[in-house]
């Protein structure tokens, strides 16, 4: 299991214990020890998106204890992520957990801490939510006689002093990741007086590993400043230039610096600016796709958020196509299937089908009983696209759905199946069908199958009634003639030839046209 997921699982458990079992100190200490150990593995970013907790982009099962509490608190306070540096201190970890566990409290961490809350709204990057003195009013975490434990001692040392004066947030230029484990040590360069354009030109031309690492830190800071100043195009340009240059990195230290720079910039506000570039010029669109592909699930989530909120059909199609090309975002889309808003569930089902996400088979099957016809329709189409063995029963069930459109879609899907019983399924469905439009769709599907039994049924339907009080709907007879035109057999051609003399004008015209088209195609 990825170390970030392990950390997230333990952290969620710690938040749950602090919320529901505050007296269970022994387990709290054990979980905190595990968190400190896992934190040595590397940088971790916990995010609350679309109601799901993610760890470095990987979604956690919502049923895990503590996950709901973390998501609710981060979402309520507008915090997009909680970032944890490598070798994060026990004091900062437990303080973050306590602040998330305390209902109604204000969140803050002192500047320079190894655990930070990143703010989602544009213009605020890694800023404390309130001053540190506000956190001092939280209930004490009393370890009693266990103060000799090193983790408990670290906790006690980290507890803010009540008389500590408020600390103003650092200016944007100083909001740089500095922290207890050296995770962002490469980003400690001094700010340069060069313009953004000059800095980018130096970055493109630089070949020295040490200088390149320094430039990466300064460019990341410039991108954050640009977002804070409302200059999103410059921020996205810097992001793209970093991603583009990353492919050329050879030395391990330089590669690591690129990874950290990308991670630093992969924040909700900046990613949303990148998504906006998709709607601009072709060049900006292409650059945005490169950045979104590099950021993986988080980039896909940004596209999904915009897609869910977009009202214009043209923009929706654009975001839809980009998301399919990214081949990412499946965990978020799976979660969206359960959204109470019908259009969110429908869009998620359609995307999962386009992406042929096999993991979606079971949750898509659950949507077949959704109250909204549009959601059921999208789920059936998605399951058909998956082409899995379990999709066949789904299609058969679709033939009996109460919505006519879904029954027609299911009939069309059966045409592409290789199972022997497909003609029999359609024939039985046709016997039970009472909607003429749906019955016509079934007849056309039988024509595309072209089996002997299907052709016999089509001929019987196309022929005139033999009885004074029996009269077939003309629309069904015409549909049967059109279906016969799809069959390249002598029996079908003979039937069409005979129907050229039918008493009904529409039937005659359709038969004449079908034979004429066949003749032209043969020529």
- What is the chain's Cα-based Rg? 31
Name the residue among 371, 313, 323 with its Cα closest to residue 348: 323
Give the Cα separation of 184 and 256 in Å (integer): 10
Average pLDDT of the residues in 298-318: 81
pLDDT for the residue 237: 94
φ/ψ of residue 81, rounded to 5? -145, 160
Q: Is the pLDDT of residue 176 over 90?
A: no
Question: Please, which pLDDT band fits residue 133 given cuts at 50, 70 and 90?
Answer: very low
Domains of the chain, first to last: 3-172 (no CATH), 420-523 (1.25.10.10)
How many residues are recorded in the chain? Answer: 523
Q: Is the pLDDT of residue 174 over 50?
A: no
Q: Is the pLDDT of residue 357 over 60?
A: yes
Give the Cα separation of 161 and 154 in Å (integer): 14
Burial 180-192 (b: 16+ CB within 10 A, else e): bbebbebbebeee
Between these two residues, 273 and 67, which has the higher pLDDT value? 273
Min mean pLDDT across 104-108, 198-202, 232-236, 249-253 is at: 104-108
Average pLDDT of the residues in 26-30: 84
Q: Is the pLDDT of residue 366 over 50?
A: yes
pLDDT tens per residue across span 151-160? 444 444 443 4
Question: Please, which pLDDT band fits residue 114 given cuts at 50, 70 and 90?
Answer: low
Q: Is the pLDDT of residue 299 over 70?
A: yes
E strand or H helix that includes residue 461: helix 452-462
Helices (H), 40-116: 67-76, 90-101
Write the CB contacts of 319 (distance below 8 Å, at least 6 apart in sequence): 275, 278, 303, 306, 307, 310
Q: What is the mean pLDDT of the chain?
A: 76
Question: Please, which pLDDT band fits residue 192 given cuts at 50, 70 and 90?
Answer: low
pLDDT tens per residue across span 121-131? 333 333 333 33
Q: Is the pLDDT of residue 286 over 60?
A: yes
Q: Is the pLDDT of residue 518 over 50?
A: yes
pLDDT for the residue 438: 87
Largest CA distance in the chain: 103
Give the Cα separation of 300 and 244 in Å (integer): 18
pLDDT for the residue 163: 37
pLDDT tens per residue across span 443-477? 888 888 888 888 898 888 888 876 555 577 888 88
Min mean pLDDT across 90-94, 265-269, 412-416, 464-468 is at: 464-468
pLDDT tens per residue across span 178-188? 333 333 344 44
Q: Is the pLDDT of residue 497 over 50?
A: yes
pLDDT for the residue 47: 82
Torsion, Cα of 446, 447, 452, 454 (10° steps): 30
pLDDT for the residue 175: 38
Min mean pLDDT across 96-100, 181-185, 301-305, 309-313 is at: 181-185
Q: Is the pLDDT of residue 32 over 50?
A: yes
pLDDT for the residue 235: 93
């Amino acid at each position: 299991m990825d170390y970030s997921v392990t950390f997230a699982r333990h952290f969620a458990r710690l938040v749950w214990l602090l919320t529901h079992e505050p007296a269970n100190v022994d387990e709290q200490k054990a979980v905190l020890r595990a968190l400190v150990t896992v934190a040595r593995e590397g940088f971790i970013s916990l995010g609350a998106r679309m109601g799901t907790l993610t760890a470095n982009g990987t979604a956690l099962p919502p049923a895990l204890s503590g996950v709901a509490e973390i998501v609710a608190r981060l979402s309520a306070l507008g915090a997009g992520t909680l970032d944890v540096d490598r070798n994060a201190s026990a004091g900062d970890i437990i303080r973050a957990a306590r602040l998330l566990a305390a209902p109604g409290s204000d969140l803050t961490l002192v500047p320079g801490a190894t655990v930070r809350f990143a703010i989602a709204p544009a213009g605020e990057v890694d800023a404390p939510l309130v001053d540190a003195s506000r956190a001092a009013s939280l209930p004490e975490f009393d370890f009693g006689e266990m103060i000799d434990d090193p983790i408990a001692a670290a906790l006690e040392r980290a507890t803010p002093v009540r008389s500590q004066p408020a600390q103003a947030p650092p200016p944007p230029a100083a909001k740089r990741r500095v922290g207890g484990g050296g995770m962002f040590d490469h980003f400690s360069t001094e700010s340069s007086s060069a313009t953004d354009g000059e800095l980018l030109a130096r970055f493109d031309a630089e070949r020295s590993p040490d200088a390149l690492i320094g430039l990466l830190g300064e460019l990341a800071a410039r991108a954050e400043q640009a977002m804070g100043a409302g200059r999103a195009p410059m921020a996205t340009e810097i992001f793209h230039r970093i991603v583009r240059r990353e492919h050329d990195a050879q030395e391990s230290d330089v590669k690591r610096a690129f990874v950290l720079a990308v991670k630093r910039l992969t924040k909700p506000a900046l990613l949303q600016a990148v998504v906006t570039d998709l709607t601009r010029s072709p060049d900006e669109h292409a650059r945005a796709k490169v950045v979104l592909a590099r950021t993986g699930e988080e980039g896909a989530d940004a596209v999904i958020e915009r897609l869910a909120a977009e009202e214009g059909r043209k923009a929706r199609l654009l975001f839809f196509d980009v998301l399919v090309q990214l081949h990412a975002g499946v965990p978020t889309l799976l979660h969206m299937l359960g959204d109470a808003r019908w259009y969110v569930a429908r869009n998620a089902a359609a995307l999962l089908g386009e992406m042929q996400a096999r993991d979606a088979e079971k949750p898509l099957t659950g949507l077949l009983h959704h109250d909204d016809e549009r959601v059921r329709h999208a789920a059936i189409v998605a399951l058909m696209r998956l082409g899995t063995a379990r999709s066949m029963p789904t299609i058969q069930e679709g033939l009996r759905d109460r919505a006519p459109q879904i029954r027609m879609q299911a009939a069309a899907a059966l045409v592409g199946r290789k199972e022997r019983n497909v003609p029999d399924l359609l024939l039985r469905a046709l016997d039970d069908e009472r909607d003429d439009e749906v019955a016509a769709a079934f007849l056309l599907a039988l024509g595309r199958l072209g089996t002997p039994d299907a052709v016999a049924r089509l001929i019987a339907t196309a022929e005139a009634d033999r009885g004074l009080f029996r009269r077939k709907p003309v629309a069904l007879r015409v549909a049967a003639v059109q279906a016969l035109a799809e069959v390249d057999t002598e029996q079908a051609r003979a039937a069409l030839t005979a129907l050229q003399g039918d008493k009904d004008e529409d039937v005659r015209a359709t038969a004449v046209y079908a034979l004429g088209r066949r003749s032209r195609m043969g020529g």
